[in-house]
Structure 1
Amino acid sequence: MKRQDYDLAKILKYENVAWFSDGIVRILDRRYYPAEERYVDCKTHLEVAAAIRDMVTQSAGPYTAAGMGMTLAAFNNRELKGDELMAVLEDAGEALSTARPTTTSRMRVVTKGCLEAAKNADKDGREPYQAIFDRTIDSLNRRYKVMQIVGDNLASLFKEDSVIMTQCYGETVVGTMLRAANRMGIKPKFVVPETRPFLQGAKLTASVIHEMGFELKLISDNMAAWAISHYGVNLFTSAADTITTDGYVVNKVGTLQIAILAKHFGVPYYVTGIPDDVAINDVDIEFRNPNEITSFMGLRTTLEGVEGIYPAFDITPPELVTGYVTDRGILMLDELKEYKKEKTEFY
């Protein structure tokens, strides 16, 4: 099996997303990267769930972490057999799937796949934990391969003089669109908002873009209008935690305001991802601890008593979206409902 993380930045290498070995799931702590290369070692699936909840990993990282967490749960209970083991794994799957509410439906696809792998492990003589691990690696490889198609489709919109604004950290599609651009021999420029409060844009997106050989300008989140109007931005793109069949984009909070700005300045907005078979009314927006707003990297930035509010995601309506970049091409709104008629195996 050829690994699909070739020629990608360090943070996108499989072992640096989440990796099970010798009874531990090791996750690169993205809250500190790249200033520090710090890993969180999880010895139980509950510790993996906590790492997901605490944003040690985010974007698509939790899907891999969930698979590795299921591997760990099976390993830690390897003396159990049959229904007893499956009961433990079902509980583990629920804990991992619900670590962050907005992505629960996608995470359940991951953990249910792990349950099926465990059930069928004895057919080829593997231990259940090994079967889940193998399934997780297969899923990683499949997802990277599918996202390369998405990255290729997005890069088809780029020109040598393109100036592209990103939002937050789109995980695999950031690397695959850059890999596609390198293959095409073009070098567009990027404008990267920092993404408060954890600075995923500054720490992760900017690191990947720089490491893969492209020019970028990092801006604070409140500079987006200036950058679009003065720096020649001619394309805005983001990934999505959810693209609903009715065309709404659920993504890191701040996506909506940039989409509004893009519309105002006549800049097209292309969202990347795999549409979900879900309506917008079924999406649960996560509200995180307000302390993540009133402090930064452990330092309180407000007076005691000042209250914060932190919706982790916002919702961008379809009228602000130019096109939906998927593994089946760049789709328009009226094509999204047709997408699910031919299912993509992604997780």
Structure 2
Amino acid sequence: MFMTRCDESMPFLLRYENVAWYEDGAVRILDRRVYPAEVRFAECLTYQEVRQAVADMVTQSAGPYTAVGMGMALAAHQCRDMHSSRQSGFLKQAAGDLAHARPTTANRYGIITNRCAEVGIQALEEGKDAAQAIFASTVEALNRRYAVMQLVGDALAELIPQNGSVLTQCFGETIVGTVIRAALRNSKVFRVFCAETRPYLQGARLTAGCFAEMGFDTTVITDNMAAYVMEREGVDLFTSAADTIARDGHIANKIGTFQLAILAKHFGIPYFVTGIPDGDKPGAKDIVMELRDPAQVLSCGGISHTAPGVKAIYPSFDVTPPELISGIVTDRGVFPPDGLEQYFDGPVRTFY
């Protein structure tokens, strides 16, 4: 039905059906909050349920990019029996709702959902199945994203020394899969340390699981062990993806990235950020910071670990300034953080 898929030889988490998938009037999303202890899928029967699943972090990192696309296919299914005069408005409403499931990455989600709305409306005008048209467009976008991110993974793999050690932060989704694929293709061997990334433990559960599944020497550390590991375990490179890369070199990533960048600077360890710069975000002031339910900090895995009356805060991201970043690894090569404007000199590949 589709072109050759770009998720071959990827870890379980990154196979298309295991990210988010539309079929028969429902969207299935792998619940990454409980994986790998449990392989459980959230089944959404309306696009509003998809939006809530993204807001509740059923899927994280780049997973929502796929989920909102599949959610748009579900929106088209929902409005299939409406009068034609209402269907376009319904799809546009769904595009806006899904795009704003999480604030920091609303711009990226919006690129996806608005394109899906356009595809769906065109299909309706041509008398075609809008849900299937949007589904096909979303799979095509998945192929495109995986192919573009393979260029990033190839470039990152070249920066890692043979038999070296890498420290990761959170779960970089496709960059994890593509750097693994590049390393295996070129017989590049390295050790991986994964910061656990509280409160959802994406580093411990997702990143570490992917590397271990594909045969890499993988070690999980708690978030307060990074200085010890950098000083005593021979870390050669610190890397993370980014939920937003502003044009002036500021990046937003999972909370805790900023402090790891400070430590890396102290120990003389290069920090390479991976991803595609956001052309619509000139600087740090344009990054919207998401604040989540503090109750999620007061417990872990559903078990409370604080006394009654104790309060918490939960900023989902922090912003790392360009002076702490050694380079930003993109599909066009590695750029200095203060030279990102050069990235936009030529035509920009469609990433989402």
Partner of 1:36: 38
Alignment of 1:11-30 (within 5 A): 11-30=13-32
Offset of 1:337 from its aligned partner?
1.2
Q: Aligned partners of 1:211, 1:124: CA distance in 2, in Å?
A: 45
Report the residue type matching 1:315 in the other structure: V
DSSP 3-state at the match of 1:2: coil
Offset of 1:119 from its aligned partner?
2.1
Offset of 1:232 from its aligned partner?
0.4
DSSP 3-state at the match of 2:212: helix
Confirm or deny that 1:337 pairs with 2:317: no
Confirm or deny that 1:303 pairs with 2:307: yes
Offset of 1:104 from its aligned partner?
0.6
> 272, 292, 298: which one pairs with 1:294?
298
Q: Aligned partners of 1:247, 1:165: CA distance in 2, in Å?
A: 21
DSSP 3-state at the match of 1:101: coil
Offset of 1:125 from its aligned partner?
5.2
Show structure 1 runs of 4+ deviating over 6 A.
none
Q: Aligned partners of 1:298, 1:247: CA distance in 2, in Å?
A: 37
Offset of 1:123 from its aligned partner?
6.9
**What is the count of residue pairs matched by the alignment?**
347
Offset of 1:287 from its aligned partner?
0.4
> 111, 115, 118: which one pairs with 1:116?
118
Partner of 1:316: 320
Confirm or deny that 1:46 pairs with 2:45: no
> 162, 165, 183: which one pairs with 1:163?
165
State the Cα RMSD in Å.
1.1
C-alpha offsets along residues 12-47 of structure 1, whole Å, 9 cap, x if unaligned?
000000001111100000000001001100001111
> 225, 230, 234: which one pairs with 1:228?
230
User: Which stretch of the first structure deviates more once superposed, 159-168 or 237-246?
Assistant: 159-168
C-alpha offsets along residues 186-235 of structure 1, whole Å, 9 cap, x if unaligned?
21111101110000001100010001111011100000000000100010
Q: Aligned partners of 2:321, 2:136: CA distance in 1, in Å?
A: 38
User: Which stretch of the first structure deviates more once superposed, 118-127 or 335-344?
Assistant: 118-127
DSSP 3-state at the match of 2:114: helix
Partner of 2:74: 72
Partner of 2:215: 213
Partner of 1:150: 152
Partner of 1:195: 197
For structure 2, the residue ranges without an aligned partner over 5 or more in a row are none
C-alpha offsets along residues 40-86 of structure 1, whole Å, 9 cap, x if unaligned?
00001111011101110000000100001110011011123544111
C-alpha offsets along residues 320-344 of structure 1, whole Å, 9 cap, x if unaligned?
0000000000111343112234222
Report the residue type matching 2:164 in the other structure: S
For structure 1, the residue ranges without an aligned partner over 5 or more in a row are none
Q: Aligned partners of 1:186, 1:246: CA distance in 2, in Å?
A: 32
Confirm or deny that 1:326 pairs with 2:330: yes
Q: Aligned partners of 1:151, 1:19: CA distance in 2, in Å?
A: 24
Partner of 2:64: 62
Partner of 1:285: 289
Confirm or deny that 1:238 pairs with 2:240: yes
Residue 322 of structure 2 contacts residue 338 of structure 2 at CA under 8 Å; is this kept in 1?
Answer: no
